[in-house]
Amino acid sequence: MLQKIVNLIFESLHLKNLDHIGFKYLHIKQPDTVAEHSLNAAQIGYILAKMEGADANKVATMLVWHDIAETRIGDMHKVAVGYITNKKELERQVMKDQFNGLDFGEEIQTYFQEMDDRLTLE
């Protein structure tokens, strides 16, 4: 299991090499990376969750991991996503491959599904 954790850490480090493609698509000269986007989303989400009485730690955890599948399938701008009918299923399959066998893997996958399906306040 330790090797799987090490692999996930190295894979997550790749997010800092991926441009947040939506901004690049809009011709922003220095778009943020997916890693920067995830950090900012987690910080903002934490603050908003505190303000709304939601579980701020859960929200931050959801947002830290929400783009991890992009290490394998890339970041897609809104126009491209319009042509992909199974993006959610692709992301869930990637995350299953990334997190299966890890002690915390089921929790992260459940959080992602909950966020994606918009089932709770978080």
Report pLDDT for 13: 96
Structural domains of the chain ordered from first start: 2-117 (1.10.3210.10)
Mean pLDDT of the chain: 94
Report pLDDT for 81: 87
Report pLDDT for 25: 82
Three state DSSP letters for the chain: CHHHHHHHHHHHHHHHHCECHHHHHCCCCCCCEHHHHHHHHHHHHHHHHHHHCCCHHHHHHHHHHCCCCHHHHCCCCHHHHCCCCCHHHHHHHHHHHHHCCCCCHHHHHHHHHHHHHCCCCC
- What confidence tens digit (pLDDT) does each residue in 71-109 have? 999 998 888 888 988 989 999 999 999 999 999 999 999
pLDDT exceeds cutoff 90 at 29:
no
